[in-house]
Amino acid sequence: MLFPSLLLSAAAFAGTAAAQGVSTYVNPAVPTGTPIPANYTGPLRPQVHYSPPTGFMNDPNGMFYLNGVFHLYYQYNPTGLGAGNQHWGHATSKDGYTWGNQPIALFPPEEKQYVFSGSVVVDANNTSGFFPNQTNGVVAVFTLARYNEDGSGGPQTQAIAYSHDEGYTFQYYDRNPVINSTSSQFRDPKVIRYEDHWAMVVAYSQEFVVGIFTSTDLKQWTWASNFTNHGLLGAQYECPNIVKMPVRDRDSGAVVDEKYVITLSAQPGAPLGGSITQYFIGDFNGTHFSTLDAATRLTDFAKDNYAAQFFYGVEGNPISIGWASNWQYAQQVPTGNNEGWRSAMTLPRASYLTKAAPRIGWTMVDEIYDTAPILGESLATKTMGNGSVTVDYADVASNALYIEANVTGIDVAKATAFSTLNLTFTSPASGESLRSGFYFGGDNPFFVDRGQLRGFDNVFFTDKFSVADVYYDSSADKTASWRVQAVIDRSMYEVFLDGGRHAGTVLLYPTQPLTMVNVAARDLPAGARVSVAVWSLKSTWAGQADEQGTVLGNVTTTTSKRHMVYEGGFST
Amino acid sequence: MLFPSLLLSAAAFAGTAAAQGVSTYVNPAVPTGTPIPANYTGPLRPQVHYSPPTGFMNDPNGMFYLNGVFHLYYQYNPTGLGAGNQHWGHATSKDGYTWGNQPIALFPPEEKQYVFSGSVVVDANNTSGFFPNQTNGVVAVFTLARYNEDGSGGPQTQAIAYSHDEGYTFQYYDRNPVINSTSSQFRDPKVIRYEDHWAMVVAYSQEFVVGIFTSTDLKQWTWASNFTNHGLLGAQYECPNIVKMPVRDRDSGAVVDEKYVITLSAQPGAPLGGSITQYFIGDFNGTHFSTLDAATRLTDFAKDNYAAQFFYGVEGNPISIGWASNWQYAQQVPTGNNEGWRSAMTLPRASYLTKAAPRIGWTMVDEIYDTAPILGESLATKTMGNGSVTVDYADVASNALYIEANVTGIDVAKATAFSTLNLTFTSPASGESLRSGFYFGGDNPFFVDRGQLRGFDNVFFTDKFSVADVYYDSSADKTASWRVQAVIDRSMYEVFLDGGRHAGTVLLYPTQPLTMVNVAARDLPAGARVSVAVWSLKSTWAGQADEQGTVLGNVTTTTSKRHMVYEGGFST
* pLDDT above 80 for A181: yes
Instruction: For residue B151, give the chain A residue with the closest CA.
Output: A413
Q: Does A331 touch chain B (CB under 8 A)?
A: no
Q: Helix H segments across A127-271?
A: none
- Residues A217, A554: Cα–Cα separation, whole Å: 32
- Residues B184, B204: Cα–Cα separation, whole Å: 9
Q: Are B60 and B73 in contact (CB under 8 A)?
A: yes
Give the mean model confidence (pLDDT) for residues A389-406: 98
Give the mean model confidence (pLDDT) for residues A304-318: 98
pLDDT value of residue A9: 28
In chain A, which residues have their Cβ closer than 8 Å to the Cβ of B231? 294-296
What integer best gives the mean pLDDT of chain A? 92
- Residues B572, B570: Cα–Cα separation, whole Å: 7
Q: Cα dist. A79→A14, A18, A147, A331, A343 in Å?
A: 11, 17, 18, 13, 14
Secondary structure of B508-552 as H, E, C letters: CCCCCCCCEEEEEEECCCCCCEEEEEEEEECCCCHHHECCCCEEC
Percent of chain A at pLDDT above 90?
A: 85
Give the mean model confidence (pLDDT) for residues A96-102: 97
Q: Helix H segments across B119-269?
A: none
**Closest by CA position to B123, among listed B169, B163, B93, B173:** B163
Q: Does A276 touch chain B (CB under 8 A)?
A: yes
B59 is catalytic: yes
- The neighbour count for residue B121, using CB atoms within 10 Å, is 24
Give the mean model confidence (pLDDT) for residues A262-284: 97
Strand pairing report for B230-231 and A294-295: parallel
Question: Cα distance from A62 to chain B (closest Cα, Å)?
Answer: 27
Among A374-383, A551-560, B520-529, B560-569, the minimum mean pLDDT is found in B560-569
- Residues A413, A38: Cα–Cα separation, whole Å: 54
More confident residue, A6 or A252: A252
In chain B, which residues have their Cβ closer than 8 Å to the Cβ of A434? none
CB contact under 8 A, B228 and A272: no
- Residues A42, B147: Cα–Cα separation, whole Å: 58
Give the mean model confidence (pLDDT) for residues B163-175: 97
Across the interface, which of A3, A443, A462 has its CB nearest the CB of B463? A462
Among A304-313, A507-516, B527-536, B550-559, the minimum mean pLDDT is found in B550-559
Q: What are phi and psi of B336, to 5 degrees?
A: -65, -60
Between positions 469 and 488 of A, the ones with CB within 8 A of B are 470
Across the interface, which of B269, B459, B465 has its CB nearest the CB of A467? B269
Q: Are A439 and B3 in contact (CB under 8 A)?
A: no
- Residues A18, A348: Cα–Cα separation, whole Å: 35
- The neighbour count for residue B418, using CB atoms within 10 Å, is 12
Tens digit of pLDDT for each residue in A406-448? Answer: 999 999 889 998 999 999 999 999 999 999 999 999 899 999 9
DSSP B5: H
pLDDT value of residue B9: 28
* pLDDT above 90 for A170: yes
Tens digit of pLDDT for each residue in B281-323? Answer: 999 999 999 999 999 999 999 999 999 999 999 999 999 999 9
Across the interface, which of A439, A444, A466 has its CB nearest the CB of B273? A466
Among A6-10, A288-292, A492-496, the minimum mean pLDDT is found in A6-10
Instruction: For residue B273, give the chain A residue with the closest CA.
Output: A466
Q: Are A394 and A515 in contact (CB under 8 A)?
A: yes
pLDDT value of residue A45: 98
Q: What are phi and psi of A8, to 5 degrees?
A: -65, -30
Instruction: For residue A448, give the chain B residue with the closest CA.
Output: B459
* pLDDT above 90 for A265: yes
Question: Cα distance from A441 to chain B (closest Cα, Å)?
Answer: 7
Hey, is B228 helix, strand or coil? strand
Across the interface, which of B236, B298, B417 has its CB nearest the CB of A1? B417
In chain B, which residues have their Cβ closer than 8 Å to the Cβ of A1? 417, 439, 441-443, 445
pLDDT value of residue A113: 92
Buried b (16+ CB within 10 A) or exposed e, B181-213: beebbbbbbbbbbbeeebbbbbbbbbbbbbbbb
Judged on CB neighbours under 10 Å (0-12, 13-18, 19+), A32 is: middle
Task: With cut-offs at 50, 70 and 90, classify the pLDDT of residue B568.
Answer: very low
pLDDT value of residue B479: 85
* pLDDT above 80 for A281: yes
Q: Does A414 touch chain B (CB under 8 A)?
A: no
* pLDDT above 50 for A81: yes
Q: What are phi and psi of B507, to 5 degrees?
A: -80, 150
Q: Does B154 touch chain A (CB under 8 A)?
A: no
Q: Cα dist. B244→B37, B62, B281, B316 in Å?
A: 38, 17, 10, 10
Task: With cut-offs at 50, 70 and 90, classify the pLDDT of residue B421.
Answer: very high
* pLDDT above 70 for B80: yes
CB contact under 8 A, B295 and A442: no
Q: Which of A59, A304, A469, A489 is catalytic?
A: A59
Give the mean model confidence (pLDDT) for residues A242-254: 94
Hey, is A563 helix, strand or coil? helix
Question: Cα distance from A108 to chain B (closest Cα, Å)?
Answer: 24
- Residues A126, A138: Cα–Cα separation, whole Å: 9
The size of chain A, in residues, is 572
Question: Cα distance from B18 to chain A (closest Cα, Å)?
Answer: 32
CB contact under 8 A, A464 and B463: yes
pLDDT value of residue B17: 31
Between positions 373 and 392 of A, the ones with CB within 8 A of B are none
Q: Is the peptide bond preceding residue B268 cis, with omega within 30 degrees of 0? A: yes
CB contact under 8 A, A298 and B271: yes
pLDDT value of residue B8: 31
Task: With cut-offs at 50, 70 and 90, classify the pLDDT of residue A380.
Answer: very high
* pLDDT above 80 for B475: no
Question: Cα distance from B279 to chain A (closest Cα, Å)?
Answer: 11
Instruction: For residue B237, give the chain A residue with the closest CA.
Output: A359
CB contact under 8 A, B465 and A273: yes
Tens digit of pLDDT for each residue in A485-541? Answer: 999 999 999 999 999 999 999 999 999 999 999 999 999 999 999 999 999 999 999
Instruction: For residue A291, give the chain B residue with the closest CA.
Output: B294
Between positions 253 and 272 of A, the ones with CB within 8 A of B are 267-272
Task: With cut-offs at 50, 70 and 90, classify the pLDDT of residue B51.
Answer: very high
CB contact under 8 A, A443 and B1: yes
pLDDT value of residue A556: 58
In chain B, which residues have their Cβ closer than 8 Å to the Cβ of A452? none
pLDDT value of residue B357: 75
**Closest by CA position to B466, among listed B495, B498, B432:** B495
In chain A, which residues have their Cβ closer than 8 Å to the Cβ of B294? 228-231, 291, 294
In chain B, which residues have their Cβ closer than 8 Å to the Cβ of A229? 293-295, 361
Q: Are B453 and B508 in contact (CB under 8 A)?
A: yes
CB contact under 8 A, B229 and A470: no
Q: Does A451 touch chain B (CB under 8 A)?
A: yes
Task: With cut-offs at 50, 70 and 90, classify the pLDDT of residue B358.
Answer: low
Tens digit of pLDDT for each residue in A545-571? Answer: 999 999 999 875 444 444 333 443 333
Q: pTM for the complete prediction?
A: 0.93
What integer best gives the mean pLDDT of chain B? 92
Give the mean model confidence (pLDDT) for residues B356-372: 90
pLDDT value of residue A383: 98
- Residues A455, A469: Cα–Cα separation, whole Å: 30
Q: Cα dist. A24→A47, A161, A557 in Å?
A: 34, 12, 20
* pLDDT above 50 for A19: no
In a mutational test of the A interface, the residue from B420, B464, B502 whose CB has the highest number of chain A CBs within 10 Å is: B464
Edge-to-edge strand order for the sheet containing B387-392? B387-392, B516-522, B420-426, B433-439, B445-449, B464-468
* pLDDT above 70 for B554: yes
Strand pairing report for B349-355 and A492-497: unpaired
CB contact under 8 A, B6 and A466: no
Instruction: For residue A440, give the chain B residue with the closest CA.
Output: B1
